[in-house]
Chains A and B, each alone.
Chain A
Amino acid sequence: MWELIGIWLAALLTLCIFSFLYRDNPFYRFAEHLFVGVSVGYGIVLTVHQGLIPFAWNPLRDAFTQQQWIGLVKIIPICIGALFFARLFPAHGWLIRYPIAILIGVGSGLAIPNVMRADIFEQVLGTLTPFAQIHAGELDPFQIFGAILMLLGVISTLTYFFFSVEHRGVVGGVSKIGIVFLMIGFGSAFGNTVMGRVSLLIQRVDFLLADWLHLI
């Protein structure tokens, strides 16, 4: 019974959203506002159950019930977090800079070593590897061509992102080649995404035709 009501409700909401394709209309506005409300509500529930309870409440509770006093450390972040309430009192609004500064500091600190390793070192290594294979004689001529093209692509795209030199002469020429690679890259990524997006539509159509209308 509840499942049937659910399917009907889901189908109607699905159609409400699809109606946006025609133009803005009361059905879309209905779904849109409901969606915003529900998603905020869901966000609050998720934050409480997956953020505050396991990371703040549980350690504090354990501190008192099981004498794991280390859990009391959590009082510090709770107090820092509570500074966000300062925003509600205009005179002390600047206090929210404290938690923001900490969040930004942590984010930046984590980014430095990880980006250096995962992105820069890995990508440079990835560009060099095929040349080791060329030396070892593992690649056929077509693959060697691919490796050289890759090298040209990486270097020219990188040149396109030079900002402190004017793009004239050699630099200008190489950065033009970079644009060529960028455009081919973007085109292929676009084309490759079509499949994923159509899959999503197929799934919605399948829901409407099979689960709701039982046509297939």
Chain B
Amino acid sequence: MIEKLMNIDRRIVFILVGLAVIIPSLLSVSFPITVSQPTRSTYDYIESLPTGSTLMIGFNYGPSSLAELHPMAEAVIHHCFQQKVRVIGMTLLPDGATLGDDMLRKVADETGAIYGEDYVYLGFRPGATQVLLGMGTAIDSVFEADYAKTPLAEIPMMADITNYEQIDLVLDLASGSSTEWWIVYTNTRYNQQIAAGVTGVIVSQMYPYLQTKQLIGLMPGLLGAAEYEKLIGRPAKGTEGMSIQSFAHLLVVGLVILGNIAFFIQRRQAE
């Protein structure tokens, strides 16, 4: 019995994991979320911005990290449109181009935000660091036109936005090292305020920047999205996902504990 439990067929574990994700997905249960300080600081910063301020969002993730970062983007953009904070979207990765466009349009449709007045999407330009440095002098030196190829000069919202000076916060949604680029090239050089939302795997890499205040806020993966959704009082994919996460985490924790109990019993018996 104990022997069997110790060397359980991995396929049983697979089935349990599958069930732990499928059943809660079908039932849509939810747990309360505790908001961590780094997420709260991002929220507070945006909350404190006066009407008509500008937030720039970098959609620096590809389809493989969409699961974690899309919900976060959705929550923040909702918050901005509620607050009448204008949003400029852009990306440094070719893969991110369509993702950012889809997301901005989706939230705009839900909230009634108007393109060219409440938000603009610039799309992708190659040469990451040159793009970041170029926008420091003038955004239209890098993006002469937006994603739909409309010249920036013809977009009403961009009339009073030249460079970082008119941007109150940059939020980088990253699955790779783009946050470091923003920090090195725009925070250090142009003193631009930066916040980040990153995938769970690279979160711990970002803590040092939070410590040195090079990042004013940080949202960790799906949990960050759920926390932000709680702050703006609009539960969506993040909250739903985190509840499913809870089951999966409990399952893994339970399995590890079970394995160890079996291990100790076996060792006791051997003695």
Contact = CB atoms under 8 A, between A and B. Distances in A.
B37 interface: no
Contact of B222 (A50, A193, A195, A209): A195
B201 A209 contact: no
A66 interface: no
Contacts of B244: 198, 202
B11 A21 contact: yes
A198 B68 CA distance: 10
Contact of A196 (B22, B68, B249): B68
Contacts of A189: 204
Nearest to B256: A191
A21 B12 CA distance: 10
A209 B221 CA distance: 22
Given A203-B66, A203-B67, 16 more contacts: A22-B11, A50-B94, A129-B211, A129-B212, A192-B203, A195-B245, A196-B201, A198-B244, A198-B248, A198-B249, A199-B241, A200-B67, A202-B25, A205-B22, A209-B25, A209-B26
Interface of A: 21-22, 50, 54, 126, 129, 188-189, 192-196, 198-203, 205-206, 209, 215-216
16 contacts: A21-B11, A22-B11, A194-B248, A195-B249, A196-B200, A196-B221, A196-B222, A198-B21, A199-B221, A199-B222, A200-B64, A201-B21, A202-B241, A203-B67, A209-B25, A216-B26
Interface of B: 11, 14, 17, 21-22, 25-26, 28, 64, 66-68, 94, 126, 199-201, 203-204, 208, 211-212, 221-223, 241, 244-245, 248-249, 252
